[in-house]
Structure 1
């Protein structure tokens, strides 16, 4: 009896530990800097058009008229006049240069740029980008890019033999763009600062406003929509940075949205531990049907040579096989979560790709209470 009681206690403790492990994790407080950004604090895209020189015969061919014209323009600005017939080098490639200007940048700051070929060059490895103005959306130059390129691959070809690694027609200009015009984000507008949520939620926006009011006084913040919280600021403009820094460090517990993300290409399923599923019965199995047709010629040998109108007869034999797939599964689940469902299907040796199909079918049946995002 003592051994039986000890065994029952051991089983109870194991079940209790499993229940604790299966319980969804409680939400945690997150600082506001991880939930969104201030309106006006954004990066800006820059683009430019230039030439890469120094390529070892892997540049644009003579068929690319844009390259010859661009090279003539560069040489003419440097005081050299040449005709198109005199330009036959394959050591030059015409490229597009893109970069991202930070929300706050000073003159002389260096940023990275990406260079991509727009001609028929085979590789940009070993090339050097000539001075290229980087324009903003307003067509004003904000930076100048120039320097040696770093390509993450190579491409060599000789007598119909080719060796290539990665994509050498795109290269990185590490810190090769210099900011020429200072920019500063305008965050304070009409005495207000707007905080924009990355994941819109009315509950989270209201909690943010309540937290700010509790810290700086009632009426300081108000939730205008699911993705915007307005904050009033009437202090000294020179102290705005300190005010925003204190707001960013405030912590709020955001609302969680039930979502299930599936990737059919890689067979990946990602879901929160508390995504609920109603009672459901799942039957998963395949039936494999194979039809084989064999053609057999029947040759009447006993009359061969005696009758000219006797011919061979072609007979088609058809064989039909029906096989049940190995691992057919019928599973019943009470009210549970996606985590428990996936765990149960894994123990039943159901593949990940079949799980994706099961989750989509459960969603169609109305038993999965979450959004399915297919990547």
Structure 2
């Protein structure tokens, strides 16, 4: 019942907005984060590190010791206080040398826990193979109680501010004569609205929508690009998010716009039958539970009867839960409603 409650709470949330600032629905092309990755060693573990079966860990430890003039064969290393890890971080746009980055550390061997460990100096590289940051420090496991960090079996951790930027990614935005906005969702109306809003706020020749996802903006004379973007990105535009239904099959969560309707249809799933028949009338007999929105549940026949003028995904999910349907059954029914064409918005399954 807990899953059903969380599902219905999600369904009650709308996905509609009348207006939004440009910075919330579009990105400036070229202004972006970059992913960094590195391979390193975590030491100081209390016997919970990689075992002898993780040969790459032993070899890495031997190679590291040689850098500090300690020559030892991998065959002679029996320590379980070390773990091989992958280190990841995000390099923000315009990050400068000396800036700190948060890093995430994840075990790749058979370590039981990274609790209490210290990450040795680890170069973090970009997709081009160049080193952009160096990470080192004591891990923080955090208070997570589920998944990989449950109890004493924490095989992932974080170092807040654990990496220093060593190489910058240069992007000269100051001297740009024009920039491009990339909409987070392709939409002809939204691109046109952004163009019109900027031209109304600045001048009639400043912005032009190139396609449903891209808007080109020319910088006016006498103002810096930074100052100009600060003004442009805060402009309000008329915006309506595209209606869609999102289903998370792992957690049984369904998120739908409150205005997503379902066409007349009859569908049977296992022992449950749904009959959507607008503008009809059902007599609430014995065993029938009347709900709002013209929906009645016939518990004796395991039938969901929908007779209102307008049937939504949210109302069907609420009624199905009253009928005792499991989250997986509700998800399967909604998927089949989409397959038969009774739902006219995009269905996204994650």
**Structure 1 equivalent of residue 183 of structure 2:** 197
In the alignment, structure 1 residue 370 sits paired with structure 2 residue 338: no
The Cα shift of 1:131 comes to: 1.0
Instruction: Please list, as runs of the form range in 1=range in 2, the aligned pairs for 1:319-358 lying within 5 A after superposition.
Output: 326-338=300-312, 341-342=315-316, 345=319, 349=323, 351=325, 353=327, 354-358=329-333
- Separation in 1 of the partners of 2:54 and 2:337? 55
The Cα shift of 1:330 comes to: 4.8
Shift of the 195–83 alpha-carbon distance from structure 1 to 2, 3 Å rule, reads: same
**Structure 1 equivalent of residue 275 of structure 2:** none
**Structure 2 equivalent of residue 30 of structure 1:** 20
Question: Alignment partner of 1:255: what SS?
Answer: coil
**Higher relative contact order, structure no. (Cα contacts within 8 Å, ≥ 6 residues apart):** 2
Shift of the 337–217 alpha-carbon distance from structure 1 to 2, 3 Å rule, reads: farther
Q: Is the 8 A contact 2:120 2:137 kept in 1?
A: yes
Q: Tell me the TM-score normalized by structure 1.
A: 0.72
Q: Deviations over 1:175-222 (max 9, x none)?
A: 111112233445578632110111111110110011011111112111
- Separation in 2 of the partners of 1:26 and 1:182? 39
**Structure 2 equivalent of residue 169 of structure 1:** 155
- Separation in 2 of the partners of 1:336 and 1:166? 52
Instruction: Please list, as runs of the form range in 1=range in 2, the aligned pairs for 1:1-375 lying within 5 A after superposition.
Output: 27-152=17-142, 165=151, 167-187=153-173, 191-235=177-221, 239-280=224-265, 286=271, 326-338=300-312, 341-342=315-316, 345=319, 349=323, 351=325, 353=327, 354-375=329-350
Q: Deviations over 1:238-268 (max 9, x none)?
A: x111100101100112233231223444443
Shift of the 281–51 alpha-carbon distance from structure 1 to 2, 3 Å rule, reads: closer
Question: Alignment partner of 2:162: what SS?
Answer: strand
- Separation in 1 of the partners of 2:191 and 2:31? 19
- Separation in 1 of the partners of 2:321 and 2:48? 55
Larger Rg: 1
**Structure 2 equivalent of residue 303 of structure 1:** none
Structure 2, unmatched stretches of 5+, are 1-11, 145-149, 273-297
**Structure 2 equivalent of residue 5 of structure 1:** none
Q: Is the 8 A contact 1:283 1:330 kept in 2?
A: no
- Separation in 1 of the partners of 2:304 and 2:159? 57
Q: Tell me the TM-score normalized by structure 2.
A: 0.77
**Structure 2 equivalent of residue 300 of structure 1:** none
The Cα shift of 1:56 comes to: 1.2
Count residues with an aligned counterpart.
Answer: 308
Shift of the 374–138 alpha-carbon distance from structure 1 to 2, 3 Å rule, reads: closer
- Separation in 1 of the partners of 2:90 and 2:60? 25
Question: Alignment partner of 1:369: what SS?
Answer: coil
Structure 1, unmatched stretches of 5+, are 1-21, 155-163, 288-323
- Separation in 1 of the partners of 2:111 and 2:252? 37
